[in-house]
Amino acid sequence: MSEVVVLVSGRGSNLRALAAAMDEGRCRGRIAAVIADRPCDAIEWARARDLATDIVRPKAYAARAEWDRALADAIDAYAPRLVVLAGFMRIVGPSVLARFGGRVVNVHPALLPAFPGMDATKQAIEAGATRSGCTVHLVDAGVDTGPALAQAACPIEPGDTSETLHARIQILEHALLPVVVDSLLAR
């Protein structure tokens, strides 16, 4: 069985979509653990599902590099084949990349390289873009700069707010992330 560790910070809708796809046999693998940098809905959901969970809080460490090492250790405890950042609101550092480089993927709510970083849907609307979407990409040391593995696009409708656009993009994310995870685990 291919173990997947999912890193989260928020609502966890991508985590739930991935778990559902695995349960329904649409995605191979198993969620070995859900790890967060803070208490959040995604961790609550994982606990309710009896999944292993861990919270590695940056504040508990004197330096960023120590937190990064602790995060890498927490992930390593589950010996995953793949690490999925699903709404993880921090940049993973050199310790995580050194141990899992090439096996860390992120889902981002824009058609990268357009609109990396925070508030991608707000950026797209403010730029006057007429389409956006989501990207699943390999994580490197930059902010949303790693090679794209797959993208899905949708229109930006007149009158869209950041929230309405994000809701449309999340439907795409929930479909695309399990497909990419499945294909990576098939290798």
User: Could you give the residue numbers annotated as active site?
Assistant: 108
178 binds ligand GRF per the rule CB under 6 A: no
Q: Which residues, numbered 36-65, are part of the site for ligand GRF (CB under 6 A)?
A: 42
129 DSSP assignment: -
Taking CB under 6 A as the criterion, the residue among 19, 54, 67, 109 binding ligand GRF is 109
Can you give 94-122 as a three-state secondary structure string?
HHHHHHHCCCEEEEECCCCCCCCCCCHHH
Which residues, 6 or more positions from 63, have their beta carbon under 8 angstroms from its beta carbon?
none
Q: How far is CA 114 from CA 16, 64, 79, 141, 160, in A?
A: 26, 28, 33, 18, 18
Q: Which is nearer to ligand GRF, 4 or 86 (CB)?
A: 86
Residue closer to ligand GRF, measured from CB, 32 or 136: 136
Of 54, 5, 11, nearest to 170 (Cα)?
A: 11
10 is a site residue for ligand GRF (CB under 6 A): yes
Residue of this chain nearest to ligand GRF (CB atom): 87
Instruction: Choose, by CB under 6 A, the member of 5, 83, 107, 112 that binds ligand GRF.
Output: 107
Interaction between residue 132 and ligand GRF (CB under 6 A): no
Structure token pair of residue 87: 């709404």
Where on the chain is the footprint of ligand GRF (CB under 6 A)?
A: 10-14, 42, 86-87, 107-109, 134, 170, 173
